[in-house]
Each structure stands twice: as structure tokens, then as C-alpha cells.
A and B are shown apart, each in its own frame.
Chain A
Amino acid sequence: MTKLLEWLLGVSAVVVAWGLLTFDLLGLRLPQAYRDVAWPMPMYLLLVFGCYSLATVGYRVATFNDCEEAAKELQAQIQEAKQDLQKRVEILIQRLINPGVELWPLAQLLKEMIRQRLIKVCRMAGTQASHVEHEPTRLC
């Protein structure tokens, strides 16, 4: 059963109960007091539900955790990550190019080329994101 059906069933059960009491459809000859209470009941229920909802959402907004600490921690780790990545790239470059041939100009050039390419990783890490390509899509 879909949620829609469940809701329809629930709502019609309430409506039927309300109709039976208010208009005394079963001919039970209920005291007038009963009818007077039943008649505005749906309105009351709606009001109570509305108030409950507003209060709940309000309370949850007010108590929504601001993760200041988490943001700070992340910023610190980003710095750490950038330095560590830089180090790893340097090691990689050393491994790729034999330091013994450093004097050979072509090797120097090659080294510089690979370096530039690898260093991109570090430079790109943590630079300000371009906002245009990332618009928030999630409502909650």
C-alpha cells in the first residue's frame, strides 16, 4: 500500500467518525453536548497539528548544531594535507628522475615538466572553489 493510500484511509476514517457523531447518522440519539463537541473537532485537530508542527520545526531550527569545531578542524587538516601532498609529489619526482643526471639540461627540462604537472595536484588542492559550477541543490 502506498503512503498516499494510507493517508486517504486514515483521513476518511476520521471523516466518517466525525460525520457519524455530528449528524448522528446511526440514529443513536446522542446528547446534544456530544454533537457540539464533535462538530468543530476537525478544526481543532488541524489547529493542534499546525501548532505542534510549527513548534517542532521552530525548536529544531533553534537547536540545529552549528559545527564550528568541525569546520575549524577541517581547515587545519586542509593545510596539513596540502603540505603532505607536496612532500609526496617531491618524493615521486625524485624517484622518477635520477638525481645523478641533474646537470644534463634535457633532464632538467623533463624534470621541470613532470614537476609542473604533478604540482598541479597540490596547487589545485584547497584553492577557492568556483561557485558557478556548484549551486546547492538539496533542500534538506
Chain B
Amino acid sequence: MASRKSSSKSRDENDKYSVLLPTYNERENLPLIVWLLVKYFGESGYDFEIIVIDDGSPDGTLEVAEQLQKIYGEDKILLRPRAKKLGLGTAYIHGIKHATGNFVFIMDADLSHHPKFIAEFIEKQQEGGFDLVSGTRYSGNGGVYGWDLRRKLISRGANYITQVLLRPGASDLTGSFRLYKKEVLERLVEQCVSKGYVFQMEIIIRARQLGYSIGEVPISFVDRVYGESKLGGNEIVSFLKGLLTLFATT
């Protein structure tokens, strides 16, 4: 049931959590992430729905999603596909429109974000009445699996520069495992102009600007297994572009 509440300090029967899962070529991971989500939501007893936003994946992700819908029910798994790859930012916008929960989880479908943390996100949110709770790989027990020294150095360096230049008041800017109050997310998404994962940075900076409260939960990030580390010049250039744009405009 759709319900709207500005803040809730204690567990509320009416709270519902919509999980947005953008997918592109995730047919191997989608059944697993859905299984894990159902498991952990089931254990913690919160009401939830999973919204799969597939962008016409050529590997047949949507077909797999349809089968999962048969297994878990159409009230739990919602399919909101788009015909072609239109990017992550618009995938979230598209997903929110169809969310019936008063809270929205955003996470990656590639198993790098583990659903075991959802209960911690929710508890954190309730504890401080936060407008958004962000998963962080960079503080507390947070961390990453599968990164070599070079990858760690690039990541820490980029994060440090971002912290110095933007002082965002959150330790993980590009991570996309987050819990939002739905109306807060709607408002933030309206304001953001960036594309790709710079969108994740912008959204948290705008949140600060608009005076929204931010909580953090340390998460372990088990990265997708890549054939080889492909992070190169292109990614660095687009990161710097995004960073400087935010530096000059926010």
C-alpha cells in the first residue's frame, strides 16, 4: 500500500521499501540478488517490493526476470523495462515513478551490494530519522573485496581529492547502495543533472545543500570479477570532468 510519512522513529507497520534494481546484462546475477533480497527482507519482516529496470539487455535478463516474477509473485517483483540502454540516472527516475513504498533502496544488481545490510540501513534510518542513509566502503568496517593495490590507490586518491574539493560530509560519494525517503529521492532526482555515476556524487551533494540529513552504514563491497583491471584513461578523464563540474556548479 502506498503510504507517506515524513519521519518515523520506530518500526511502522505501514513502512514499505521499494528496491530499485537497474540491470544491464545481469542474467547470471539477477536471480541471485533477488533470492538474497527475498531472504533478508523475509528474515527481518519488512514489507518490500523489487523493481527491475532492465534496459533491453541483449543477454536475456528480462526473460530471467519474468521467470523470477512467476516464482516470487507479481506483487514482489515488478518489471519496468525500457527498450534500450538509456543510462543509470534515468533508470532510477523511471523506477521511482513506479515505486509504491515510502522508502526506496537503490543498489546494484551485480552482487557487489549485499542485501544482508538492508536491516542495518533501515535501523540506522529509524535511529536518526535520516532522510537518506548511504552505504560506505571507506569507514568503519566497510571495505572492498577483489581490488588490487593499484585499484585501491586510484580509489583512495580519487576519494581524497573529492573530499578536499567538495567537502560533501559523506565518506562514500560514488557508492550507490543507499536508502532514501521516497519524497526526498524524488526531490533530489529533479535537481540532478549529471549522468552515469557522477549522478551518485551529485545526489549526495545536493542532499547536503538542501539540508537533508545523511546517515552512513559501513558495507563490504564484493566487486564483480573482471577479466582484468580495465580502469584506464577514459574513466579518469570522465571522473575529473564530473568532479570539476560539481566543483564549479554546486
Contacts and interface: CB of A to CB of B under 8 A. Distances in A.
Interface of A: 2-4, 7, 53, 56-57, 60-61, 64-71, 74, 77-78, 81-82, 84-85, 88-89, 92, 117-118, 120-122, 124-131, 133-140
B160 A134 contact: no
Interface residues of B, number: 66
Contacts of B166: 3
B86 interface: no
Interface of A is mostly: helix
B25 A131 contact: no
Contacts of A2: 247-250
Given A2-B250, A67-B144, A129 B32 contact: no
B154 A3 contact: no
Contacts of B126: none
Contacts of A133: 24-25, 59
A130 B154 CA distance: 24
B110 interface: yes
B142 interface: yes
Contact of A136 (B152, B153, B229): B229
Nearest to B235: A139
B168 to A, nearest CB: 10
B141 interface: yes
Contacts of B144: 64-67
Contact of A121 (B67, B153, B162, B231): B67
B71 A120 contact: no
B249 A140 contact: no
A126 to B, nearest CB: 6
B197 interface: yes
B98 interface: no
Contact of A124 (B64, B143, B226, B235): B64
Interface stretch (B13-21, B41-49, B184-192, B216-224): B216-224
18 contacts: A4-B247, A56-B160, A57-B153, A70-B143, A71-B222, A77-B32, A77-B36, A78-B111, A84-B35, A92-B70, A121-B64, A124-B28, A124-B31, A126-B29, A128-B225, A129-B225, A131-B225, A140-B157
A77 B115 CA distance: 12
Contacts of A129: 28-29, 110, 224-225
A119 B67 CA distance: 9
Contacts of A68: 145
Nearest to A70: B220
Given A64-B144, A131-B226, A139-B239, 12 more contacts: A66-B143, A67-B221, A81-B32, A82-B32, A134-B25, A134-B226, A135-B230, A136-B226, A139-B231, A140-B154, A140-B156, A140-B157
Nearest to B232: A135
B211 interface: no
